[in-house]
């Protein structure tokens, strides 16, 4: 483990400019190809490429864990998948076998296409953020705002009005307006919004939800990647600079963005509040052989860091063992 600890400290404690030249080059290459990936579609949050310090901290956590190489994990799971497919096909008649093989290929191909679409869909975010932040810097310089993040809480008409006022040498400040909206946003982020609105909400949700009865405390969700794992909870929220995940802990999040994929390599299981069987979190979990449940309502509200829980990825159930 000593070599892992040293590598982790190198990433976590060293400024990017002080890293070895070859490592800085590799980080730059990674940012150029994958730096547009997001923690959230809300473009308030920096992209992976913008916040390379956070990327280094994540790599530092990753490097300090003695875990199997990602490619080895993927190959082992792929082999289990191929073996399972072969076993199913072997039980079918020739005409049925051809139909089933075509269906499996169809769904596997479309799962890959869906992930590609998700990857390329995010390409515009760095450009949008760069443009908005350039405007923010100019507004800060002119005294309209006191910090650049405030620009994300102003409306188009307000920004156009501010620019027009500056062109006419008029004094204007929008910091108080933006700050008030940001406080409201922070408060609303703590709420657990319903998945659906309307009278049929409970009927449509079925038996999913948080239960505390004679069967114990549990969350019933959708199982998307089989396996059972017992471990301690570690919650990851958008904006977290680093998630100090230990190998085997249960990673709990609202939506598993690409930025969390390195942590999924270390987690014992994955619990996601939103999503379905074809969501990014589900596909990656199955690819890695990671037990996972999604559409787990109130998970972040009910669970806390350090709780001992058991996740059944086949049945879609999380049981709270102890606080």
Q: What is the DSSP string of 113-145?
A: HHHHHHHHHGGGHHHHHHHHHHHHHHHHHTTS-
Flag the least confident range among 107-116, 197-206, 237-246.
Answer: 197-206
The strand pair at 222-225 and 216-220 is best described as unpaired
Chain centroid to Cα 2, Å, comes to: 29
Measured CA angle at 11 (ends 116, 5), to 5 deg: 110
Q: Which of 74, 76, 57, 81 is nearest to 8 (CA)?
A: 57
Alpha-helix runs per DSSP H in 240-279: 261-264
Q: Which of 130-134, 193-197, 234-238, 260-264 has the highest mean pLDDT?
A: 130-134
Per-residue confidence (pLDDT) for residue 308, from 0 to 100? 97
Q: What domains does the chain contain, in order, with CATH numbers?
A: 2-63 (no CATH), 124-186 (no CATH), 203-322 (3.50.30.10)
d(CA 143, CA 124): 29
Q: What is the mean pLDDT of residues 220-229?
A: 95
pLDDT in tens, 242-290: 778 888 999 999 887 777 887 888 899 999 998 888 888 898 899 888 9
- Is residue 11 very low, low, confident or very high in pLDDT (cuts 50, 70, 90)? low
d(CA 275, CA 119): 17
Q: Name the β-bridge partners of 311.
A: 229, 318
* Structure-model confidence comparison of residues 244 and 124, the more confident one: 124
Are 201 and 263 in contact by the 8 Å Cβ rule? The answer is no
d(CA 247, CA 267): 6
Task: Tell me: pLDDT of 2 over 50.
Answer: no
211 DSSP assignment: E
* Structure-model confidence comparison of residues 278 and 302, the more confident one: 302
Per-residue confidence (pLDDT) for residue 102, from 0 to 100? 94
Rg (CA), the chain: 23
H helix or E strand, kind and range, residue 7: helix 2-13
Task: Tell me: pLDDT of 110 over 90.
Answer: no
d(CA 281, CA 284): 5
Distances (CA, A) of 19 to 3, 9, 27, 204, 241: 17, 11, 10, 53, 19
Q: Which of 300, 316, 298, 294 is nearest to 227 (CA)?
A: 316
Q: Which of 47, 71, 15 is nearest to 288 (CA)?
A: 71
d(CA 130, CA 40): 16
Per-residue confidence (pLDDT) for residue 113, from 0 to 100? 87
Flag the least confident range among 31-45, 192-206, 213-227, 250-264.
Answer: 192-206
Distances (CA, A) of 212 to 146, 207, 216, 217: 47, 13, 6, 4
Per DSSP, the three-state class of 80 is helix
């Amino acid at each position: 483990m000593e070599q892992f600890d040293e590598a982790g400290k190198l990433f976590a404690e060293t400024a990017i400019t002080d890293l070895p030249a070859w490592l800085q080059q590799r980080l730059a290459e990674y940012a150029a190809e994958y730096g547009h990936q997001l923690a959230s579609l809300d473009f308030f949050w920096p992209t992976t490429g913008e916040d390379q310090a956070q990327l280094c901290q994540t790599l530092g956590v990753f490097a300090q864990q003695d875990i199997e190489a990602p490619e080895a994990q993927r190959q082992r799971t792929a082999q289990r998948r191929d073996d399972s497919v072969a076993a199913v096909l072997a039980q079918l008649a020739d005409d049925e076998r051809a139909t089933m093989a075509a269906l499996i290929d169809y769904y596997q191909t479309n799962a890959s296409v869906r992930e590609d679409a998700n990857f390329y869909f995010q390409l515009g975010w760095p450009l949008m953020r760069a443009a908005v932040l350039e405007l923010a810097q100019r507004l800060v310089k002119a005294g309209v705002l006191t910090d650049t993040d405030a620009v994300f809480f102003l409306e188009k008409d307000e920004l156009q009005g501010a620019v027009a006022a500056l062109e006419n040498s008029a004094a204007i400040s929008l910091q108080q307006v933006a700050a008030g909206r940001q406080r409201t946003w922070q408060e609303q982020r703590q709420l657990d919004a319903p998945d659906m609105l309307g009278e049929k909400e409970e009927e449509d949700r079925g038996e999913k939800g948080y239960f505390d009865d004679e069967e114990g405390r549990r969350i019933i969700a959708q199982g998307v990647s089989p396996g059972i794992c017992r471990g301690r909870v570690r919650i990851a929220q958008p904006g977290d600079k680093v998630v100090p995940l230990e190998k085997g802990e249960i990673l709990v999040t609202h939506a598993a963005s690409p930025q969390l994929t390195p942590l999924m390599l270390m987690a014992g299981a994955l619990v996601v509040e939103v999503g379905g069987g074809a969501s990014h979190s589900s596909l990656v979990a199955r690819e890695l052989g990671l037990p996972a449940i999604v559409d787990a309502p109130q998970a972040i509200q009910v669970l806390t860091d350090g709780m001992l829980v058991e996740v059944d990825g086949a049945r879609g159930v999380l049981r709270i063992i102890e606080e």
